[in-house]
Amino acid sequence: MNIQISRRDALIGSGALVVSFSFARSLTAQAQGATKPVALTEVDSFLAIDKAGNVTVYSGKVDLGTGVTTALRQIVSEELDVPIMRIELVQGDTLLTPDQGTTWGSLTIQVGGMQLRQAAAAARHALFSEAAKKLGTDQLTVADGVISGGGKKISYGELIGGKKFEIKLDPKQPVKEKAPTEYTIVGKSQPRVDIPDKITGRFTYMQDFKVPGMLHGRVVRPPAIGAKLEGVDDGALKKIPGAKMVREGNFLAVVASSEWNAIRGAAALKANWSKSETLPDQAKLWEHVRNSKVAKLEEYGKTGDSAAALAADGVKKMSVTYDFAIHTHGSIGPSCAIAEFKDGTLTSWSASQATHNLRKQLAQMFSLPPERVRCIYIEGSGCYGRNGHEDAAADAALLAKVVGKPVRVQWSRADEHGWDPKGPPTLMDMRAAMDAQGNVTAWEGDFYMPQQTPGGFLVPLVAATLTGMPAAEHIAPGNVFQNSAIPYKFPNTKSVCKRLETTPFRPSWIRTPGRMQNTYANECFIDELAAAANMDPLEFRRKYLDDKRGLELLDRLAKLAKWEQRPSPQKGTIGNIAKGRGVSYVKYELVRTYVGAVAEVEVDRATGVIRVPKFTIVHDCGQVINPDGLKNQIDGNVIQTVSRTLIEEVKFDRSQVTSLDWESYPILKFPQVPEIVIELIDRPTEKPWGAGEPSAAVIPSAISNAVFDATGVRLRSVPYTPAKVKAAMQSHAT
C-alpha cells in the first residue's frame, strides 16, 4: 500500500532518533557476526537490509513451534512496507540476536514483537528522511520497499543496502509507529512461512541438524535420582564398532560414530549404581506437599479483613481443597543438541527457549567466560517450557569436551519422560463465607507451590549435577504465583502462596505455569459459591466483575455458547450418560489477555469416563497480528490442556519416574479431541498481548464445572481419571 508521510510526520515522536547512515562499513555475512550489535538500544541489533532490499530480522525470541516468527515477520513487514517473503529471520543466537528474554510467558509478540516494531519504525523514519533528501521532496509514498516522490523512486536497498542504520532506540522515547488504521498485513491471516517445508520433509529441525565430523552420544541414566555410579563393565562395548565409554563422576555415556551404535553401546554397558530413595510415596504425595517446609509466604490480592469476615457469625462457610498433578512436557521429539569445542570456544546448537540463559549455565559449568560460549537456537519439536533441551545441550557439551570432537546427543523417549524437569505438584486450600442473601463476604486461598530462589530462572543442568561440575542451585518453577489473586470484587480477600523449600522433582515451567493451577482452583471455587448461592455461574461471575472488557467477553461467550441461564447442577438428569456445561474466566496475570470458556461434557456414570465433545472460547488479547495463527494456538491450548486435565500424571516410585513412555504417560488421542469454537475479539488500536498460554488457564476448571453441572459432583483433583470420577460419584450418592 501507499502511505503519505511528510518529513514532519516522520519526525514527530521520533524521540532519540538520530539519522546518520554509516556508509563506511559493509555487512558481509562473516563480518556481520563479528561486528553486529546485539544491544536492545540499537536498530542494527534487530534489523539489516541488504542491497537487494531483503530484510533480515534478528529475534532473541524464538519459534517454539507456535508459528510466531511468521507473526513477527508480519509486524516488521507492516511497519516497513516490505513483503513478508523478503524478510528472513535469525533467531536465538547469542552472537547475533539481542537478548529479548526467554521465550516464555506469552511475551513474544507482546514484548519481543513490540521491540521489533519500534526498530522497524525507527528504520522506516530514517529511510524516509534519507529518501526525502535524495528525491528532493517530502511528499513520499512507499510500496514493497520502494519509496516514491516527485516522479522518482528509490529502494530501501539503494538507500541502506548492506550498511548500518546506527540509530539508537530509547524505550522512554518511543518512535512513532504506523497507525493501526493503515494496517494491511497485521491483523490479517497469513500462511506460516515454515509450513510447506514441514509438510514435505524439507525442514531442518534440531533433530535433523548435523555438523561435519560429529559423533553421536547416548547417556546412560541412573536408575534412581541421586544414585552413585559404583562400577561399570564396558566389555561388551568392544563388539560395537567405534563405540567408546565416557565416565565423569556419575555421568555415564557412550559415544559412537553412528546414533544406532551409540544406542546399542549404551545398552551394552553393565553399570552398578547405589540405591537411592529421595522421592516421597506417591500415594501420600499431597500429605508430603502439605507438610513440606515453607520457605516464604507471599500475599496477593489482599482486600479488607478476610480472617475476620470468615470468623463472623451468621455466614455460610465453605472450605475445600484442590490438587493438580505433576506433569511432564512430553514433546513428541525428545530433546537433542550438538556441541563443539574449538579454539577455546564452545558452540552449542539446541532448541533451548533461553539461549542467553543457557550460555550463562554452560559458561559456569565449563568455567568459561560467557563470551567464549555461543548458543544457537534451532527449532525442535514443540516446546512448552523449560524441558530437556538445555540438559541435552549440557550432555553434548560435556561429551564434546571429553572426546575433542563435535557430539550430537539425542535423548530417548525414556530420557525425556524421566529426566525433563517437571511441572510441580500444586495444592490449593480455598475458603469463603457467604451471607444469607448469597453474597460472598470473604475469600481466601492458600496455594502450595515450590519457591523461586533468587537470582534467576536457571534450572540446574542434569549433566552438571551428575558430574559435580559447577552449577546453579536454583529452584525455578517460573512465576507460578500469578493468578493466585482473583479478578472478582469480593469485600474481604487474600491469596497466600506458600513457597515450599523443596518439591519432589526438579521443577520448571510447563505452559501456563501456576496460572493454570491457580485459575483451576479459583474458577472451580467460584463455581461452588455460585451453586451455594443458587445462581447461574456465569451471572454470578458477572455480578462480581467491574472490568468492561471482561464483562463484554463474558456476554459474547454466553451468546456464542448459547448459554442457558440457570444454576448448576441441572435438575432431573437421568440415564447413564450425564451431560452438562461449565464456564470459566481468566484475566491473565490480572493485567492482560482475557479468556472465557464454556466446556460441554458427557460423563459415563458407569465407567467414570469423561468426554468433552465441545469447547467454546472467546479470546481478547488486544491487537491480533495473525488471526489464523492465533486460532491455531488456542486450539493447541485447549487440546493440550484437556489432555493434562483428564489423563496426565507423572508416576513414580521412591527412586525415579516410572511413567517412561506413552503407554504409562498417555496423552489425548484423536477420538477424544473436542470440537473447538473460537471467537477472537480483535482490538487493533490496543496493545497486542500474549496468547501462547492464557486460554490453557481456563480449561481444567471449565471441565470440572461442567461435570458438576452434569452430575452434581465436584472434581477437585487433576487429572479427572475414571477411578476418581467414580469414587466422587459414589461418595456423593451416599
Distance in Å, CB of 226 to other proteins, minimum: 26
CB of 325 to other proteins, least distance (A): 17
Place of cell 550489535: 37
- With CB under 8 A as the contact rule, the residue among 14, 32, 59, 66 that binds other proteins is 66
Task: Tell me which of 91, 357, 381, 522 binds other proteins, using CB under 8 A.
Answer: 381
The CA distance from 445 to 440, in Å, is 14
Residues in the chain: 734
Q: Which of residues 264-293 bind other proteins (CB under 8 A)?
A: 264
For residues 574 and 224, give the distance between their C-alpha atoms in angstroms, rounded to a whole number: 50
Sign of CA dihedral 678, 682, 686, 688: positive
Choose the stretch contacting other proteins; rule: CB under 8 A; options: 92-100, 150-158, 374-382, 450-458: 374-382
**Cβ of residue 619: shortest distance to other proteins, in angstroms?**
15
Cis peptide bond prior to 334, omega within 30° of 0: no
Residues 193-222 close enough to bind other proteins by CB under 8 A: 194-205, 207-208
Distance of alpha carbon 395 from alpha carbon 699, whole angstroms: 36
Q: What is the largest CA-CA distance in the chain?
A: 88
Kindly state the DSSP code that residue 467 receives in the 8-state scheme: H
Distance CA 69, CA 63 (A): 6
Specify the residue, 593 or 695, whose C-beta has the smaller distance to other proteins: 695
Site string for other proteins, 317-356 (x = CB under 8 A): -------------xxxxx----------------------
The nearer residue to other proteins, 251 or 384, going by C-beta atoms, is 384
CB of 140 to other proteins, least distance (A): 36
Instruction: Compare residues 473 and 663 and give the one whose CB is closer to other proteins.
Output: 663
List the alpha helices (DSSP H) in 136-222: 156-160, 195-200
- Are the CB atoms for 579 and 601 separated by under 8 Å? yes
Which C-beta is closer to other proteins: that of 306 or that of 350? 350
The residue from 44, 81, 93, 379 that contacts other proteins (CB under 8 A) is: 379
Q: Return the C-alpha cell found at 624.
A: 491480533
Which phi-psi region, left, alpha or beta, contains residue 474 (left: φ > 0; alpha: ψ -120 to 50)?
beta
Calpha distance 566→536 (Å, rounded): 5
Do residues 115 and 57 touch, judged by C-beta distance below 8 A?
no
Q: Report the interhelical angle of 699-711 vs 627-646 (nearest 10°).
A: 60
| CB 676 to other proteins: min, Å | 6
Shortest Å distance, C-beta 661 to other proteins: 6
Look at strands 316-324 and 426-434 and give their pairing. antiparallel
Mark 403-432 with x for binding to other proteins (rule: CB under 8 A) and - for no binding: -------x-xx-------------------
Grid coordinates belonging to 30: 562473516
Binding status of residue 105 toward other proteins by CB under 8 A: no
> Min. distance of Cβ 68 from other proteins in angstroms?
11
Pick 460 or 674: Cβ nearer other proteins? 674
How many helices and strands in the chain, by DSSP H and E?
A: 21, 25
Q: Which is nearer to other proteins, 201 or 231 (CB)?
A: 201
Query: 297 burial class (0-12, 13-18, 19+ CB within 10 angstroms)?
Result: exposed
CA angle, 56 as apex, 53 and 59 as ends, to 5°? 155
Nearest distance from C-beta of residue 199 to other proteins, angstroms: 5
Within 587-646, the residues that bind other proteins by CB under 8 A are 628-629, 632-633, 635-640, 643
Min dist. Cβ of residue 716 to other proteins (A): 25
118 vs 387, beta carbon nearer other proteins:
387
Site for other proteins, residues 675 to 714, rule: CB under 8 A: 675-676
Q: Considering the rule CB under 8 A, would residue 144 count as an interface residue with other proteins? A: no
- Element holding 596 (H helix, E strand): strand 594-604
> Rule CB under 8 A: is residue 65 a binding residue for other proteins?
yes
Instruction: Using CB under 8 A, pick the residue from 667, 680, 681, 727 that binds other proteins.
Output: 667
Contact between 705 and 527 under an 8 Å Cβ cutoff? The reply is yes
Residues found near other proteins in the complex (CB under 8 A): 64-67, 191-192, 194-205, 207-208, 240-241, 258-261, 264, 330-334, 379-384, 410, 412-413, 628-629, 632-633, 635-640, 643, 661-663, 667-671, 673, 675-676
